[in-house]
Amino acid sequence: MSLAHNLSASISSSSSTFLVQTNFNSRTRNVSMKAKSIGICKCIATPQELQTAYKTKVSRNANMAKLQAGYLFPEIARRRSAHLLKYPDAQVISLGIGDTTEPIPEVITAAMAKRSHALSTLEGYSGYGAEQGEKLLRSAIASTYYGNLDIEEDDIFVSDGAKCDISRLQVVFGSNVTMAVQDPSYPAYVDSSVIMGQTGLFQKDVEKFGNIEYMRCTPENGFFPDLSTVSRTDVIFFCSPNNPTGAAATRSQLTKLVQFAKDNGSIIVYDSAYAMYMSDDNPRSIFEIPGAKEVAIETSSFSKYAGFTGVRLGWTVVPKQLLFSDGFPVAKDFNRIVSTCFNGASNISQAGGLACLSQEGLKAMQEVVGFYKENTDIIVETFDSLGFKVYGGRNAPYVWVHFPGQSSWDVFSEILEKTHVVTTPGSGFGPGGEGFVRVSAFGHRENILEACRRFKELYK
Ligand SMILES: Cc1ncc(COP(=O)(O)O)c(C=O)c1O
């Protein structure tokens, strides 16, 4: 292919379609675009300052302007890229973002391939599905994860992942609710709350957004908030096993949480994305706690069980018993939002989800989870042997390492600079994460071993 062809293809396949008149049909252009040719596009691109000369008359969503820096993980990716520019030959190992690395078991991909091929046949083709998910999958989720908890098929909403459902739940709640989060916690709760306009501005001195109740979770309180000091909010986000601390709430702690929600008339959004990582005898679902159906929603995911971070499949349980103050069922509003903002999970992903829940699939998922749990043990042992205080790990694929008195971004930078290993600074999960670094156990075994060797070298 000529350079000119490549060039016009790359330009017209990028967002700069207005730059070039072309005779190629769009299908050919897309197929022929090569990652490499994007570089050529960059060279001739209009400089950033000129691109921004024209301004529309649309004012920016003021809530977006409240957000800090950028979402945590893109910021880490940015720093990783900068590091690679500085050290182009470095063997960078990423134990940061928490993305899965191991192949999806074949029993699952075979089902997806079968469904995919069937789409090329008249009999097997299907278009839009039910926004709530396929009946068979909803039923399999209900029986597999909520078998004797009285959760029914129609309480389950299948989705393209827990993160997406967190945002859709925020749309259900709207802008006039108050919110509590564990501190530290998975950033999507706070950021989606800010975007919805539920919060005040970011207060630099305390590193918190106004109008969010940060429930401090530290080694001192066993990573479970002292509820006697927590103010009432409408919604309480609670993740167990927790990302990033790896802490899992016990039955008695969750019983207190449910009672707290009931006393305050609050709704708990319980994130159980790591429930299958639980080793201890703690609840896997909030619905194991009596009375939880009247105060809780649960969101979960196949991402970390089956390597579906790219495939995309999750679910949210909204029990019929959960009502707003006017008696209207929360599930009906969630259904309305899902039907408006979402067109259902991919039918191929759902075939994969169904395979995950077959006998063979469940066994395969346990193996995937078991593999990452072995990685976790290796990381825990490493930091233990180096004399660090280490938390998490037992019930989650995250190890929470304490660097008392140090800034977590400084520790992150030092580890990256000296070992070429990407971790996650604890403060990125909230002010309560300051002084900690999260090390993810998602990695190929040789990378985990190599990273641990480098940690030992750095901290010996
Ligand atoms: C606590 C928690 N919830 C949700 C998610 C996102 O899950 P999904 O891939 O299903 O969107 C993550 C991903 O890291 C997570 O850590």
Supply the DSSP string of 157-175, one letter for each residue. EEES-HHHHHHHHHHHH-S
Residues lining ligand 1, Cβ inside 6 A: 98, 161-164, 186, 239, 243, 271, 273, 301, 303, 309, 314
CB-facing half-sphere around the CA of 231: CA atoms within 13 A: 8
What is residue 33's predicted lDDT score, i.e. its pLDDT?
A: 35
Looking at the fold, whether 335 and 393 belong to one and the same domain comes out as no
Structural contact between residues 298 and 283, judged by C-beta atoms closer than 8 angstroms: no
Looking at the fold, whether 365 and 277 belong to one and the same domain comes out as no
| Cα 168 to Cα 227: distance, rounded to the nearest angstrom | 27
Nearest by Cα to 314 from 268, 273, 275, 285: 273
Looking at the fold, whether 447 and 300 belong to one and the same domain comes out as no
Nearest by Cα to 72 from 160, 163, 161: 163
User: How close is the Cα of 188 to the center of ligand 1, in Å?
Assistant: 9
In this structure, the residue with its CA closest to atom 10 of ligand 1 is 161
User: How close is the Cα of 281 to the center of ligand 1, in Å?
Assistant: 22
Pocket test for ligand 1, best of 97, 186, 191 (most atoms within 8 A of CB): 186
Pocket test for ligand 1, best of 163, 239, 302, 313 (most atoms within 8 A of CB): 163
* DSSP state string for 57-110: SPPP-HHHHHS-SS-HHHHHHHHHHHHHHHSTT---EE-SS----SPPPHHHHH
Structural contact between residues 248 and 219, judged by C-beta atoms closer than 8 angstroms: no
pLDDT digits (tens), the chain, 460 positions: 333 333 333 332 222 222 333 333 333 333 333 333 333 334 445 555 556 689 999 999 999 999 986 667 888 989 999 999 999 999 999 999 889 999 999 999 999 999 999 999 999 999 999 999 999 999 999 999 999 999 999 999 999 999 999 999 999 999 999 999 999 999 999 999 999 999 999 999 999 999 999 999 999 999 999 999 999 999 999 999 999 999 999 999 999 999 999 999 999 999 999 999 999 999 999 999 999 999 999 999 999 999 999 999 999 999 999 999 999 999 999 999 999 999 999 999 999 999 999 999 999 999 999 999 999 999 999 999 999 999 999 999 999 999 999 999 999 999 999 999 999 999 999 999 999 999 999 999 999 999 999 999 999 9
Among 336, 357, 378, residue at a domain's last position: 357
Determine, yes or no, domain membership for 32: no
Scan for tokens 């986000």, then name that residue.
Answer: 237
Domain tally for the chain?
2
User: How close is the Cα of 456 to the center of ligand 1, in Å?
Assistant: 30
Structural contact between residues 120 and 447, judged by C-beta atoms closer than 8 angstroms: no
For position 346, which CATH number holds?
A: 3.40.640.10
Host domain of residue 283:
106-357
What is residue 73's predicted lDDT score, i.e. its pLDDT?
A: 82
Scan for tokens 């708990």, then name that residue.
Answer: 268
Looking at the fold, whether 347 and 203 belong to one and the same domain comes out as yes
Determine, yes or no, domain membership for 193: yes
Looking at the fold, whether 148 and 179 belong to one and the same domain comes out as yes
Looking at the fold, whether 315 and 446 belong to one and the same domain comes out as no
User: How close is the Cα of 163 to the center of ligand 1, in Å?
Assistant: 5
DSSP annotation of 46: P
DSSP β-bridge partners for residue 239: 271
Among 357, 382, 398, residue at a domain's last position: 357
What is residue 50's predicted lDDT score, i.e. its pLDDT?
A: 56
| Cα 39 to Cα 457: distance, rounded to the nearest angstrom | 38
Determine, yes or no, domain membership for 65: no
User: Given the CA of residue 304, which atom of ligand 1 is nearest to it?
Assistant: 9
Structural contact between residues 295 and 261, judged by C-beta atoms closer than 8 angstroms: yes
| Cα 426 to Cα 387: distance, rounded to the nearest angstrom | 19
Distances (CA, A) of 255 to 190, 262, 278: 24, 11, 18
User: How close is the Cα of 355 to the center of ligand 1, in Å?
Assistant: 21
Determine, yes or no, domain membership for 390: yes
Looking at the fold, whether 128 and 267 belong to one and the same domain comes out as yes
Looking at the fold, whether 308 and 203 belong to one and the same domain comes out as yes
| Cα 327 to Cα 293: distance, rounded to the nearest angstrom | 14
In this structure, the residue with its CA closest to atom 14 of ligand 1 is 98
User: How close is the Cα of 442 to the center of ligand 1, in Å?
Assistant: 13
Q: Six-digit token pair at 84?
A: 């690679």
Determine, yes or no, domain membership for 52: no
For position 97, which CATH number holds?
A: 3.90.1150.10
Q: At what angle do helices 37-44 and 3-13 cross, to 10 degrees?
A: 80
| Cα 205 to Cα 308: distance, rounded to the nearest angstrom | 39
Determine, yes or no, domain membership for 209: yes
Contacts of 393 (CB under 8 A, 6+ apart): 246, 376, 377, 379, 380, 399, 400, 441
Sign of the CA dihedral with 335 first, then 341, 346, and 352 last = negative
Pocket test for ligand 1, best of 100, 298, 303 (most atoms within 8 A of CB): 303
Looking at the fold, whether 175 and 276 belong to one and the same domain comes out as yes
Looking at the fold, whether 245 and 117 belong to one and the same domain comes out as yes
Pocket test for ligand 1, best of 76, 274, 301, 316 (most atoms within 8 A of CB): 301
User: How close is the Cα of 208 to the center of ligand 1, in Å?
Assistant: 22
E strand or H helix that includes residue 424: strand 424-425
Scan for tokens 């399999």, then name that residue.
Answer: 140
Looking at the fold, whether 94 and 172 belong to one and the same domain comes out as no
Determine, yes or no, domain membership for 48: no
Determine, yes or no, domain membership for 212: yes
Chain-centroid distance of CA 284 in Å reads 18
User: Given the CA of residue 313, which atom of ligand 1 is nearest to it?
Assistant: 10
User: How close is the Cα of 23 to the center of ligand 1, in Å?
Assistant: 43
User: How close is the Cα of 273 to the center of ligand 1, in Å?
Assistant: 6
User: Given the CA of residue 161, which atom of ligand 1 is nearest to it?
Assistant: 10
In this structure, the residue with its CA closest to atom 7 of ligand 1 is 162
In this structure, the residue with its CA closest to atom 6 of ligand 1 is 163
E strand or H helix that includes residue 54: none
In three-state form (DSSP H/G/I as H, E/B as E, the rest C), the secondary structure along 219-277 is HHHCCCCCHHHCCCCCEEEEECCCCCCCCCCCHHHHHHHHHHHHHHCCEEEEECCCHHH
Scan for tokens 């096993």, then name that residue.
Answer: 241
What is residue 70's predicted lDDT score, i.e. its pLDDT?
A: 64
User: How close is the Cα of 272 to the center of ligand 1, in Å?
Assistant: 9
User: How close is the Cα of 164 to the center of ligand 1, in Å?
Assistant: 9
E strand or H helix that includes residue 329: none
What is residue 199's predicted lDDT score, i.e. its pLDDT?
A: 98
| Cα 74 to Cα 396: distance, rounded to the nearest angstrom | 22
In this structure, the residue with its CA closest to atom 3 of ligand 1 is 273
Among 333, 357, 381, residue at a domain's last position: 357
User: Given the CA of residue 98, which atom of ligand 1 is nearest to it?
Assistant: 14
Looking at the fold, whether 272 and 372 belong to one and the same domain comes out as no
